[in-house]
Amino acid sequence: MWTIREEDISDIAVGASILGSGGGGNSYHVELQLRELLREGGRVEVIPLASLGDDDLGCGISGMGAPTVGIEKLPRGDEMWQAARALEEHLGKKFKFLIIGEVGGGNALEPCVAAAHGGLPLVDADPMGRAFPELQMDTFMIYGVRPWPFALADAQGNAVVFGPVLDPKTAERLGRAATVAMGGTSSLALPVLTGREAKDFAIVGTLTLSRRIGASVRLAREAKDDIVEAIRRVVPAEELFFGKIVDVERRVVAGFNRGRVHMEGLGSCASSDLVVDIQNEYLLAWRDGEAICTVPDIISLLEEETGLPVGTESLAYGQRLRVVGIPAAEKLKTKTALRVIGPRAFGYDLDFRPLPGRIPEVL
């Protein structure tokens, strides 16, 4: 068990943005919110996955929608807890824990805010180990946790409880439509699950992992050490490319950011180009037309000058970036999982080509 301290916030934000494969949303506003909550005496207890009782009831929480919308459409602050509370009221039961829905970007910190609002412990785990664009793309849905009831809430105080729903893809379709009607982003409480299910299917220790990556990057920035090396001290990481953005195609389509970013190589990559495909997250990286990093492996784009990760919502012409690949968690690489989150699930006629290495489990 540990408690989130003010100085942890930016470390978690940086680490989760590196793990987020460009997704999970910008963390700026939620960092401010969480800092203020802690200063006002709010408390976020982070408990180990293994500490859950088999029959404890909890739910996953995350944001839904297009990251570019999230920059301008500010959260109220309590909507994620309101989504969880809508489920509690619907079920007539109280939750004993909350669990991060995806550990990427701002979506790693918003559950901390929700945990403080709800006075509930936050489990040190998540079902992605990164961010994914669609609701059915997590280990809870992949390995058969029931997708309903689930709830959405927005910054205006509206809430919607879904269920029964046929299957996770239907949940995604209905939830996405409501998210678009809520203005392009919403807070999602999904799934309702037992401690047993969380322990069986979640990826362990990913909040701690985010904090450690962030701290390592912070120390390296202070010491002017190499950032990729700093990441590699915590997780396997491969530098895939170094270059400059020459074009960004990015649209808001049906509640997603979709598009691609084009880069021209610099330094040792000078004669190469790189294209990264986007659906909220960085999905595939193509170097000179060849896929060199494929979903579910993580693609992280780091600003050359600051060493900080750049989310899909913040891409801009002229940015000089280091492109880093990080292997996905093992639970994302099974045949069952790849049917939902492999390249083919995103419409590519391509098999997953795993990066070497194994991401550590923080028990």
What are the residues binding its own copies (CB under 8 A)? 90, 92, 156-166, 170, 173-174, 176-178, 180-182
Between 161 and 252, CB nearer to its own copies = 161
**Least distance (Å) between residue 253 CB and its own copies:** 15
**Least distance (Å) between residue 173 CB and its own copies:** 5
**Least distance (Å) between residue 179 CB and its own copies:** 9
**What is the three-state SS of the chain?**
CEECCCCHHHHHHHHHHHHCCCCCCCCHHHHHHHHHHHHCCCCCEEECHHHCCCCCEEEEEEEEECHHHHHHCCCCCCHHHHHHHHHHHHHCCCCCEEEECCCCCHHHHHHHHHHHHHCCCEECEECCCCCCCCCCCCHHHHCCCCCCCEEEECCCCCEEEECCCCCHHHHHHHHHHHHHHCCCEEEEEEEEEEHHHHHHHCEECHHHHHHHHHHHHHHHHHHCCCHHHHHHCCCCCEEEEEEEEEEEEEEEECCEEEEEEEEEECHHHCCCEEEEEEECEEEEEEECCEEEEECCCEEEEEECCCCCECCHHHCCCCCEEEEEEECCCHHHCCHHHHHHHCHHHHCCCCCCCCCCCCCCCCC
Output the six-digit token pair for 201. 């299917």
Between 163 and 360, CB nearer to its own copies = 163
**Least distance (Å) between residue 103 CB and its own copies:** 28
Between 183 and 357, CB nearer to its own copies = 183
Between 163 and 354, CB nearer to its own copies = 163
Between 94 and 353, CB nearer to its own copies = 94
Between 162 and 282, CB nearer to its own copies = 162
**Least distance (Å) between residue 117 CB and its own copies:** 16
**Least distance (Å) between residue 33 CB and its own copies:** 22
**Least distance (Å) between residue 83 CB and its own copies:** 12
Between 186 and 280, CB nearer to its own copies = 186
